[in-house]
Structure 1
C-alpha cells in the first residue's frame, strides 16, 4: 500500500488535468456504482464551466500524484460569495491512507485565506465514506432529492459549510 509521504500534491492546473478528472470520474463511478454516460456528461459540463471561468487567484486545484501518475483530485471553484467543493476522488488503492484528510485541511485553509467562509458540495447517498469525512469537517446536509440523472435511481444531496 502506498504511504501518504509518497504522494505529491500539485497546486497548479496544467493542460490535460481536466480531461483526466473526467476520465477518472467516468471510469470509477461506472465501475464502482453503475453510473452511466449521463454522469460523465454532467462531470464534463462542470469541467467546461470551470475551465472557462478558472481564476488562478480565486480557484484552487489539488492534483495528487504518486510515481508521476495522477491518482486523485480536489477542486475549489469560487462562485461569487461561496466556494464549490468539487471533483474529490482518488483511485481505489490510494483510499484510506489519510490523503482525504490532508486535502480537507488544505481546502479549509484555502477558504480561510480567501476570506470566503462558505462552501458547498453536491454528492449522492451512495458516497457514505466521503459523506462521513465531509460531516467531520463541518459540512451539514441542506438539501436532498430523488434523482435518475446518472442512469440509476439515487438521492442527490447538497452539503453546506460555514466557518
Structure 2
C-alpha cells in the first residue's frame, strides 16, 4: 500500500457509490449477515451516517476509498450508553494489509477523545477470524443474542501507541466468511 489517509465524512453523497461497492464486494459470499440488494445497502449507508455523529471514517489508499468504519456513539445496552461499532469494512483488494486495524485505531481514538470508557460491537458467532481479530485488539465476549456475540473493550486502559505495538499483522476476517470482511453485523 502506498499513501493511506483516514478521514471522517459527514456527507455520504460524494462517496455513496464507492462505499456501496466496497460493502457489496466485501460481503460477496455472505447471505446470512449482510444486505445484498444495492438499494438496501445504500439506505443502510444513509442510516449509518445519520447515526454516526462524526464517527464515520473512510480509509483512502492513494486517494481511492478502500474501507470504512462506522460508530454510533449513543447506543444503549441494558440501560447503559455504550458506543457501538456497526461496520468495519475493507475492500477485498486491500484485506490482510492492516487497513482494518488502522480504521479500528482511528475509531478508538475518536471515542477516547469524546470521553467514552468502553466500546462494543456484534460479531457473527461462527466468524472465528473476526472474533480472533477483535480479541487481539482487546475485545472480550460479554453477551450472546441468537447468532450474534457482543464484544466489548475498555478504552481507558490502553493508548493508541500500545495498540499499535500489539501484533501488527491482520488476517482477512469477517463476521460471515473468512474471505469477505470485518463487520459488527448491525
Q: Does residue 1:39 correspond to 2:39, yes or no?
A: no
Distance 1:43 1:160, change over 3 A: farther
Cα pair 2:52 2:71 within 8 Å, conserved? no
Q: 1:13 aligns with which of 10, 14, 37?
A: 10
Equivalents in 1 of 2:17, 2:127: separation in Å?
22
Cα pair 1:21 1:87 within 8 Å, conserved? no
User: Which 5+ residue runs of structure 1 have no aligned equivalent?
Assistant: 147-154
Q: Does residue 1:74 correspond to 2:61, yes or no?
A: no
Normalization by structure 1: what TM-score?
A: 0.72
RMSD over equivalenced CA pairs, Å: 2.8
Distance 1:128 1:47, change over 3 A: same
Residue 117 of structure 1 corresponds to which residue in structure 2? Answer: 117
Distance 1:78 1:7, change over 3 A: same
Residue 149 of structure 1 corresponds to which residue in structure 2? Answer: none
Equivalents in 2 of 1:53, 1:97: separation in Å?
29
1:51-130 counterparts in 2 under 5 A? 51-55=49-53, 59-79=54-74, 81-130=81-130
Q: Does residue 1:156 correspond to 2:151, yes or no?
A: no
Cα pair 1:26 1:37 within 8 Å, conserved? no
Equivalents in 2 of 1:121, 1:40: separation in Å?
21
Structure with greater strand share of residues: 1
Count of residues paired in the alignment: 147
User: Which 5+ residue runs of structure 2 have no aligned equivalent?
Assistant: 76-80, 156-186
Cα pair 1:120 1:160 within 8 Å, conserved? yes
